[in-house]
Amino acid sequence: MIAFTIYAFLVGYLALRWRRRLLGYLLVSVCVGLLVALAWAHAQIPRLAEQGWRLARNIDILPFQAVLYPYIVCTAGIGYFMVSLPRRRPLDSCWHCRYDLSAHLGEPGVIVCPECGREHCTADSPRYRRSGEDRAQLSSSDIAIPAEPGPTLIRTVLPSPAPPSAFPAASDP
């Protein structure tokens, strides 16, 4: 039964890895097709038993069919749902829970997401930090780098002197 779980995780991984792409839909279809082929092959066991195959006479297919058919439907439904998810979050949404904040963008200051409670700064907020041309003088680490030689904005931290010892050194006799 662990194989069913591993197979479902494989279908989910393939669906999320290539979501909203033709390859993703094709991979989920192939995985579901393999399950349908397994169900078809399993349904052929009673016909093989009628033809005289001794191994096929000892196999009871009803318990397996009771599990396999709903498994195929669930795997197909979840796989196609996952492959249909958007690749990126919408621009006017909460960065945490993806709640649509487009109705709140006209409010000045900090917007609090009504879904998860996270704060989002708007352009009118004093906490808003623009990116792009206003931050061109900053490197990716956000440490100011002077454009010309001269006084620098970067402070050098020198190591502090060693603290005095709590116990005086023993004097030699």
Encoded amino acid at 13, one letter? Y
Residues 7 and 77 in one domain: yes
Whether 143 is covered by a domain: the verdict is: no
Mean pLDDT computed over every residue of the chain:
78
Q: Which of 152, 134, 132 is nearest to 143 (CA)?
A: 152
**Is residue 166 domain-resident?**
no
pLDDT for position 45: 87
Parent domain of 95:
89-128
Q: Taking 60 as the threshold, does the pLDDT of residue 63 lie above it?
A: yes
- Within a domain: 142: no
CA–CA distances in Å: residue 41 to residues 2, 5, 85, 155: 20, 21, 32, 73
Q: Give the model's pLDDT for residue 80.
A: 97
Q: Is residue 170 part of a domain?
A: no
> Are 7 and 70 part of one and the same domain?
yes
pLDDT in tens, 5-44: 999 999 999 999 999 999 999 999 999 999 999 999 988 9
- Do 51 and 124 belong together in one domain? no
Q: Given this model, what pLDDT does residue 156 score?
A: 47
Query: Could you give the percent of the chain with pLDDT greater than 70?
Result: 68
Q: Is the model's pLDDT at 62 over the cut of 90?
A: no
**What token pair was written down for 122?**
């708007």
Number of domains within the chain: 2
Rounded mean pLDDT of 130-136? Answer: 52
Q: Indicate whether 72 and 31 sit together in one domain.
A: yes
Higher per-residue pLDDT: 90 or 135:
90
Same-domain pairing of 78 and 12? yes
Residue 167 banded pLDDT, cuts 50, 70, 90: low
Give the predicted TM-score (pTM) of the model.
0.56
Judge if 8 and 41 occupy the same domain.
Answer: yes
Residue 162 located in a structural domain: no
On whether residue 133 sits in a domain, the answer given is: no
The predicted pLDDT at position 155 comes to 46
For range 74-87, the mean pLDDT: 94
Residue 7 CB partners (closer than 8 Å, separation 6+): 31, 35, 75
Start-end of H helices in the chain: 2-17, 22-43, 45-50, 54-57, 62-83
Looking at the structure, do residues 109 and 58 belong to the same domain, yes or no? Answer: no
For residue 112, give the DSSP letter: E
- Of the listed ranges 40-54, 82-96, 126-140, the one predicted with least confidence: 126-140
Q: What is the pLDDT of residue 26?
A: 97
Quick check: is 41 in a domain?
Answer: yes
